[in-house]
Structure 1
Amino acid sequence: MAFADEVAARRGLDSAWVRQTIGQARFLPNVPRLMLPARTPTQKNWRVYRSRFIDPVRIAAGARFWRDNATTLARAEREFGVPAEIIVGIIGVETIYGRDMGRFRVIDALATLAFDFPDAHPRAEQRRAFFREELESFLDTGSRTHADPLTPLGSYAGAMGMPQFMPSSIAKYAVDYDRDGRIDLVGNPQDVIGSVANYFKAFGWQPGMPSVYPVRLDTARLKMDVLMAPDILPTFSADSFVAAGAQLQGPALSHPGLLALIELRNGEDAPSYVAGTQNFYVITRYNWSSYYAMSVLDLGAEVKAALAQ
């Protein structure tokens, strides 16, 4: 209730409404456990990870989604500069085009993680603060739009709709792309497409720039510690990238921006590598994982290829 009063004062909301809403949230006992790292971490395996998202069912669903929304996808690409296959890849990886948007009441999930985030998590304080901010954003939007805050369903982390936006992302980046006077990320593909494209543009998507380039490692002059130090943050010019032992070919040699060496581990087998650009980094702003970003790229490419058949 103290948090409710703080939110009401900070956001200029009716304190009785905020108190009543938070008071109806229910603790979800399984959710804190889902936030904890695995007790026995498994080896990262790109091939296994990829197989979860690149499969015939998801590709077929993506092709149908693209056909049904081709005009809107083309408009979004034209207006935001984000290719249709990137938007299609995101929505497919997140929810299989709306098939699995989550069954947790968002108010319950956010309140559980805001007030009962597990102390055993290595970044418990940061994560608890994050979910309190998301709960505040959810309450603010609910109050200002007069939507029932007890109705929305989403993931166990409180992400909602086809693109699985968190409440703060809805507030900042969601758009009414069909101009019907409301934003609907659950049942309106036009709003979903426009909102995903707007999200990427806001994080610095560069139209026309590839997301990755093929790369080979020159073991004779390889400086792996130098190349891996920035992680996935683009840091190297094409020349300095090559000088550190990462071989590029063709257009990649004249890439105008910065590059990062992206390592994708394959369990006991040798890792795979690609050169990631600024646009690859932008995809990871949606989910901070190079494996996730590669899955988005590969799913989008597979769906595009299926459409051409």
Structure 2
Amino acid sequence: MFKTVFLATALIAACAIPASAKPQKPSQSANRSNAVQGSTPYAQRDDAMQFADDLAERRGLDREWVRQAVGQARFLGSVPKLMLPPSKGTAKNWRVYRSRFIDPIRIRAGVRFWQEHREALARAEQEYGVPAEIIVGIIGVETIYGQQMGNFRVMDALATLAFDFPTAHPRAKERTEFFRRELEQWLSLSNRTNIDPFEVRGSYAGAMGLGQFMPSSWARFAVDFDGDSRIDLFRSPTDAIGSVANYFKGHGWTTGMPTHYSVQFDPATVKMDELLAPDILPTFSATSMQAKGALLDAAGAQHAGPLALVELENGGDAPTYVAGTENFYAITRYNWSSYYAMAVIELGREVAAARNATLASSR
């Protein structure tokens, strides 16, 4: 999370400006060398300019506009370091991770957010089938309800990761391709909506708004939920609420399905290696999971769909385990981490409990 010093004006017309509008040129403030520690400016890099040419042809964009935008992007030296996984030997710790997101400040902010936007949350739950507490959990974990939306220029962040993703990362090739697609989506969106691609700020990975949508998610799942004929994920909490709900619906959220069940183990029969082999992908029926020694609670034993044994490490202490459903897996499509998914679920529950207590005390 990052302290917000933030220019949000650029995307408020994302659905209002016709595709034929002439794109703005990148601002003059962007026209400076991006040389950092001897790096070559992107305007002088063959790979960056070839990317720009290919993108312009593929998307039917003005070639010089695309080359100028890519060429003026600045390399951000801190960003590649932030993408590297923890060093080997760093123990994961669910309790520590949880404490970063489930705290009194975030819970109080969540109660205020829910109260202020209860109608939009109720409507999103009705239209998309995604519980309000999951939407509240996402926006709270991502940005503390809009308080910390990021201070990196999205264009710079995406260009840095598209052309200088750290080679030390175990998935460097895959992630480089991902961020090149996101850069393409960002330039296409900027062109289509007639905005300066350098004006908008977000996370070090290029995510934007209250729900921290990547450009591809904005293009696919962002909705005008407040009905003002434009999409603004920065300054319209209603649009952000509807867009998060639509994202989950698009990733297979099943209305009414729990996210997970409690689980215990039969030491005499548990086949832990087999249970953990699929990772968080729901694979086992309730019957087969129990046959492998993972004993579900009463509700879990009746679950009709596939389940996954989710392991949350606790440093040197015993791990925490739950049986995750397809809805648990859907939350990990927002961020591919079981720790993240549990933080979203538990923050939403804590905010719901605090809100209910507040309402009860005011009666």
Q: State the match for 2:355 in structure 1.
A: 307
Q: 2: CA distance between counterparts of 1:5 and 1:41?
A: 43
Give the 3 Å change call, closer, same or farther, for CA 144–82 of structure 1 in structure 2. Answer: same
Q: In structure 2, which of residues 319, 329, 336 is the aligned counterpart of residue 271 of structure 1?
A: 319
Q: In structure 2, which of residues 211, 236, 243 is the aligned counterpart of residue 163 of structure 1?
A: 211
Q: 2: CA distance between counterparts of 1:25 and 1:187?
A: 26
By how many angstroms is 1:99 displaced? 0.5
Pair 1:251 & 2:299 matched: yes
Does the residue aligned with 1:101 lie in a helix, a strand or coil? coil
Q: 2: CA distance between counterparts of 1:213 and 1:224?
A: 17
By how many angstroms is 1:38 displaced? 2.9
Q: 2: CA distance between counterparts of 1:259 and 1:39?
A: 31
Pair 1:9 & 2:9 matched: no
Deviations 1:27-62 (A, max 9, x none): 111111212223344211110000000000000000
By how many angstroms is 1:246 displaced? 0.7
- Which 10-residue stretch deviates more, 116-125 or 285-294? 116-125
Q: 2: CA distance between counterparts of 1:293 and 1:123?
A: 22
Q: 1: CA distance between counterparts of 2:235 and 2:90?
A: 36
- Which 10-residue stretch deviates more, 170-179 or 57-66? 170-179
Q: State the match for 1:196 in structure 2.
A: 244
Q: In structure 2, which of residues 286, 294, 303 is the aligned counterpart of residue 238 of structure 1?
A: 286
Q: 2: CA distance between counterparts of 1:39 and 1:270?
A: 21
Q: State the match for 2:192 in structure 1.
A: 144
Q: State the match for 1:295 in structure 2.
A: 343
Pair 1:218 & 2:271 matched: no
Q: Which one has the largest radius of gyration? A: 2
Deviations 1:125-158 (A, max 9, x none): 1111111110000000000011221111011111
Does the residue aligned with 1:52 lie in a helix, a strand or coil? helix
Q: In structure 2, which of residues 293, 309, 320 is the aligned counterpart of residue 261 of structure 1?
A: 309
Deviations 1:205-246 (A, max 9, x none): 000000011111111110111111111011111111111111
- Which 10-residue stretch deviates more, 94-103 or 117-126? 117-126
Does the residue aligned with 1:271 lie in a helix, a strand or coil? strand
Q: After TM superposition, list the pairs within 5 Å mapping 1:32-71 onto structure 2.
A: 32-71=80-119
Deviations 1:74-107 (A, max 9, x none): 0000000000000000000000001111100000
Does the residue aligned with 1:216 lie in a helix, a strand or coil? strand
By how many angstroms is 1:124 displaced? 1.3
Q: In structure 1, which of residues 89, 92, 100 is the aligned counterpart of residue 137 of structure 2?
A: 89
Does the residue aligned with 1:209 lie in a helix, a strand or coil? coil
Q: How many residues align?
A: 309
Does the residue aligned with 2:321 lie in a helix, a strand or coil? strand
Instruction: Give the AA of the match of 1:120.
Output: A
Q: State the match for 1:73 in structure 2.
A: 121
Q: 1: CA distance between counterparts of 2:322 and 2:168?
A: 35
Does the residue aligned with 1:247 lie in a helix, a strand or coil? strand
Q: 2: CA distance between counterparts of 1:220 and 1:40?
A: 33
Deviations 1:107-138 (A, max 9, x none): 00001111111222222111111111100000
Pair 1:103 & 2:151 matched: yes
Instruction: Give the AA of the match of 1:277.
Output: T
Q: 1: CA distance between counterparts of 2:261 and 2:171?
A: 34
Q: 2: CA distance between counterparts of 1:21 and 1:237?
A: 51
By how many angstroms is 1:8 displaced? 0.7
Q: Name stretches of at least 5 consecutive residues in structure 1 with no aligned partner.
A: none
Q: 2: CA distance between counterparts of 1:258 and 1:57?
A: 36
Does the residue aligned with 1:263 lie in a helix, a strand or coil? strand
Pair 1:280 & 2:328 matched: yes
Q: 1: CA distance between counterparts of 2:209 and 2:286?
A: 39
Q: What is the TM-score with the length of structure 2 in the denominator?
A: 0.84
Instruction: Give the AA of the match of 1:282.
Output: A
Does the residue aligned with 1:102 lie in a helix, a strand or coil? coil
Percent identity over paired residues: 67
Q: 2: CA distance between counterparts of 1:238 and 1:39?
A: 36
RMSD, matched Cα = 0.9
Instruction: Give the AA of the match of 1:202.
Output: G
Instruction: Give the AA of the match of 1:44.
Output: K
Does the residue aligned with 2:101 lie in a helix, a strand or coil? coil
Instruction: Give the AA of the match of 2:303.
Output: H
Does the residue aligned with 1:213 lie in a helix, a strand or coil? strand
By how many angstroms is 1:249 displaced? 2.1
Pair 1:131 & 2:179 matched: yes
Q: Name stretches of at least 5 consecutive residues in structure 2 with no aligned partner.
A: 1-48, 358-363
Q: 2: CA distance between counterparts of 1:260 and 1:130?
A: 27
Q: State the match for 2:3 in structure 1.
A: none
